[in-house]
Structure 1
């Protein structure tokens, strides 16, 4: 009974409700092949079953005398967690996005281990998709990583990073009296843990009182669309419901590198990450204007951007290899200048802010195990989301995680992964989250939104390619046609909208 959740993880579990499920998802899209989906399901069952954490569930201590513990689930059934699903015809990205939006809208079953894997058939190209869901408390970067990481092949085709742990005889269920006794021992031997729990409870009560007081002025805040702090009155800070929308963007990473090179040559050194944020800012600007909201010079949207400070050979997206790092995540706060009409000035502003944040001590750092093996992006996205959840929602209107991924293709049972997109949860009062991953020469972006709060998410998604073209034109770069994959994605999405 020593494997107890931290006070922060316990608070996360208790704060979760039906409006804000706190799990992180990942989509892996596999190339068309003759592989049997049943073989993929069997491999997922085998690989996840070898990791003990994926066979454990959270048990509350009677009376909440102490924080919950991780305990082996005697009724663990991997086939319940790994499911086969199929998209309706025609199986384009629009149908995959709707499938993802529906399964991430609901909370995971607390009586079972907190993860799911869906093997999805029926894609228009004949390939498969694997959608994983992991609760934030399951992924701490130390004892466990995201389930996605154990599904991918190593170069030798072996289990990637999972514990080669044979399942012994079925574990017995832990009785409530044992949980209670273990909590008493902890209270006696580690009284500071009890004090931490009390402090956490007092903090929760204070937060509740503050939220009640704030509700009386919420409507007035939303009228201040041009607030200089980028949070008050933001249309992205609204009450969220239980339904979600999800959209993916598939872009060419080389186009962002060309913009970086052109800007640097013009005298403004920037990173590819700065370019990605600027394109998102341009999309948000067009989206706000499409809503008829006043977008003035000083209008901004305050984003919290958790950045991986761990040096990596796949760091083209962050370009942080020359920055002194200690192996951690850093929360950078950036006022995205949606009110700036000039794309080059937007890029310069974001580059300056990011540089200042990364080289100052003002960010919020979270310890992270250096040298994460395997396919680290899903774990880092989850850790970034945890970092956002630990902060007050008043500090930012939007979370944008940016995680550089491998630039060589990964495989599942020898089948290449052609694309991967993150699915970040929504926090209380946050109607949009954005996850960015670079993978195999592409920039993969996943946007999750509240279905009621952002009914016009498609307008934002359609504005992003236009913001890219604007930035290319600003630096005199040719606006090249989009890739066939991007064309198919956009056309399929627009066709689905027309049909609806």
Structure 2
């Protein structure tokens, strides 16, 4: 029987519209040595098996992805609808899978600038994925200044199911320049089920779980709002989320009708600066990042002439990785040894096996003029969430706001259109990454920037990721509403400098 999409994953297909494509992205930047670039241009160099040396270019990335596809089988599968929508769609092997369609080559006029790359990212992310093919794309971008090559990935949230979901960028990265060889595997697609078989399978499942067919018919009738209301009433774990949403967010320039097109901007900072601030003021690195964003949003609002009072706040949806002391005793011991601080390993480690994910609704104090007080307010709010148990549980958000925890960026991206405007003003995802260099086909990755999609009526999303000593911000904004997204990106540096001045 085919692998059927979960109700949540199917909802991302049904709720998607031209202004809110449901894909998450990443911009990976690789640094080539001049010698490697010359060897690649002359046709020499190391192949995907790591037996010689060379630069990173389209052919090498294509060979590497093709070799690693068995690690991510979903990337060769497409979504097939059941006739009459009697059941949720199914994943089936794409018999016409064509890597050259999904992996594309692009270039900027040399020497391509970061601004030109950001414009390209915005255009690519504005385009929805083709639902008749596997739901992903990747672009190799050459011509960047400084002998750099970029890989831009797009993956639909329906593919990232929290169990077998990978971004294609993950499977091609290694922790050493020498590329480990994955065993060659001849891929033979399974026959695609016909309409009759799909209906029979749906009927069999309906007999086993008769309640599901009612929901499937309602979705087929596009009664999405009624379905979400029923889900809200059916799960007692939603109570805290409903109470949180009872007080609407303050409306402003971040909550508007959005267009099809996007703008994108990035900011580079250093992890050591956040640690310095944390050591001086307490709290966590995540607290400092949120305080920096609060300061940048404050200055951005003022630059627009918006009214900012002492009580002004912007509500952020902040997914946070929470470690279980029972499964991570070393972390618990470290906290007891240094109360109020965070172990060095903790502020750079990502989600771990046995860990948990919570999503907090945090009021960013944009009305507070003092950088230090902004940090204390954020730290107090985060501690209150953790200690009082009043945070919105990730399991509840799966059902209420379309969130799921495959990765923290994908968690932040799964905001359902029906609730996003009331629940929060902006999504801020912070994914601590590896603090050691990673390589693709022997070429070092130097930077990585997330691209978090927009929810309905939300003009901005902020993705943050740390990697190899850097903290990288990716700001995805609506092209009309966030015409000055690059200005906001620059204000992140200014806000960080302001906090560093207090150390």
Taking structure 1 as the reference length, the TM-score comes to: 0.81
Shift of 1:319: 4.0
Stretches of structure 2 lacking an aligned partner (at least 5 in a row): 37-54, 230-245, 332-341, 397-404
How many angstroms apart in 1 are the aligned matches of 2:150 and 2:406?
16
Q: Does 1:185 align with 2:209?
A: no
How many angstroms apart in 1 are the aligned matches of 2:354 and 2:248?
30
Q: Could you say which residue in structure 2 is the equivalent of 1:372?
A: none
How many angstroms apart in 1 are the aligned matches of 2:128 and 2:390?
34
Cα contact 1:51–1:165 (8 A) shared by 2: no
Written as runs of structure 1 = structure 2, the 5 A alignment for 1:98-247 is: 98-155=119-176, 157=178, 166-197=185-216, 204-206=224-226, 231-247=249-265
Residues 40 and 325 of structure 1: is their aligned pair in 2 closer, same or farther, counting only changes over 3 Å?
closer
Q: 1:413-449, CA deviations, whole angstroms, 9 ceiling, x for partnerless residues?
A: 1111100110000000010000111111111110000
Residues 208 and 324 of structure 1: is their aligned pair in 2 closer, same or farther, counting only changes over 3 Å?
closer
Residues 45 and 84 of structure 1: is their aligned pair in 2 closer, same or farther, counting only changes over 3 Å?
farther
Partner secondary structure for residue 100 of structure 1: helix
How many angstroms apart in 2 are the aligned matches of 1:90 and 1:155?
29
Q: Does 1:67 align with 2:85?
A: no
Give the count of matched residue pairs. Answer: 441
Shift of 1:150: 0.6
How many angstroms apart in 1 are the aligned matches of 2:343 and 2:406?
15
Q: Could you say which residue in structure 2 is the equivalent of 1:5?
A: 5
Q: Does 1:358 align with 2:386?
A: yes
Cα contact 1:58–1:71 (8 A) shared by 2: yes
Cα contact 1:50–1:167 (8 A) shared by 2: no
Cα contact 2:348–2:432 (8 A) shared by 1: no
How many angstroms apart in 2 are the aligned matches of 1:337 and 1:230?
16
Q: Could you say which residue in structure 2 is the equivalent of 1:271?
A: 284
Match of 1:80 among 79, 97, 101: 101
Residues 452 and 231 of structure 1: is their aligned pair in 2 closer, same or farther, counting only changes over 3 Å?
same
Partner secondary structure for residue 265 of structure 2: strand
Stretches of structure 1 lacking an aligned partner (at least 5 in a row): 210-227, 264-268, 369-376, 478-500
Shift of 1:202: 8.3
How many angstroms apart in 2 are the aligned matches of 1:147 and 1:315?
31
Residues 315 and 13 of structure 1: is their aligned pair in 2 closer, same or farther, counting only changes over 3 Å?
farther
Query: Root-mean-square deviation (CA), in Å?
Result: 3.0
Taking structure 2 as the reference length, the TM-score comes to: 0.81
Residues 87 and 230 of structure 1: is their aligned pair in 2 closer, same or farther, counting only changes over 3 Å?
farther
Shift of 1:12: 1.4
Residues 349 and 68 of structure 1: is their aligned pair in 2 closer, same or farther, counting only changes over 3 Å?
same
Q: Could you say which residue in structure 2 is the equivalent of 1:484?
A: none
Shift of 1:382: 1.3
Match of 1:449 among 477, 481, 500: 477
Partner secondary structure for residue 359 of structure 1: helix
Q: Could you say which residue in structure 2 is the equivalent of 1:440?
A: 468
Q: 1:189-222, CA deviations, whole angstroms, 9 ceiling, x for partnerless residues?
A: 121322444676786244899xxxxxxxxxxxxx
